Amino acid sequence: MDEKPFNFKTKQKPMTETQSQQSTHNDYHDDYDSPWKEALEAWFPEFMTLFFPVIHQEINWGIPHRFMDKELQQVVRDAKLGRRYADKLIQVWTLEGKKTWVLIHVEVQGQSEPDFNERMYVYNYRLFDRYQVDVISLAILTDPSPNFRAGEYRCGRWGCDVQFRFPTVKLLDLGHDWETLEASDNPFTLVVMAHLMAQKNRDGKKRLDAKLQLIRLMYHRGYNKKRILTLFRVIDWLLHLPPELVPQFQRELSIIEEKKMPYITSIERLGLEKGIEQGMQQGEATVLNRQLQRKFGEGFTDVHRQRVKEADSDILLDWSEQVLYAQSIDEVFYSSKSSRSEH
Confidence of residue 20 (pLDDT cuts 50, 70, 90): very low
State residue 139 phi and psi, 5-degree precision.
Answer: -135, 135
* Boundaries of every domain in the chain: 29-174, 179-261, 268-342
Lowest mean pLDDT, pick from 75-79, 110-114, 218-222, 329-333: 75-79
According to the model, what pLDDT value does residue 155 have? 93
Residues facing residue 67 across a β-bridge: 90
How far apart are the C-alpha atoms of 277 and 61, rounded to whole Å?
A: 44
pLDDT digits (tens, 9 = 90+) for 70-93: 887 777 665 554 444 568 889 999
How far apart are the C-alpha atoms of 200 and 238, rounded to whole Å?
A: 12
According to the model, what pLDDT value does residue 105 have? 60
Confidence of residue 181 (pLDDT cuts 50, 70, 90): very high
SS3 content of the chain, % helix, strand, coil (to 5): 55, 15, 30
pLDDT digits (tens, 9 = 90+) for 266-278: 555 444 444 434 4
pLDDT digits (tens, 9 = 90+) for 40-76: 999 999 999 999 999 999 999 999 999 888 887 777 6
pLDDT digits (tens, 9 = 90+) for 254-302: 888 877 766 666 555 444 444 434 444 666 677 788 778 878 887 888 8
How far apart are the C-alpha atoms of 62 and 52, rounded to whole Å?
A: 18
According to the model, what pLDDT value does residue 279 have? 43
According to the model, what pLDDT value does residue 159 have? 94
How far apart are the C-alpha atoms of 256 and 216, rounded to whole Å?
A: 7
Confidence of residue 197 (pLDDT cuts 50, 70, 90): very high
29, pLDDT greater than 70? no
Over residues 29-36, the mean pLDDT reads 67
305, pLDDT greater than 60? yes
pLDDT: which is higher, 333 or 192: 192
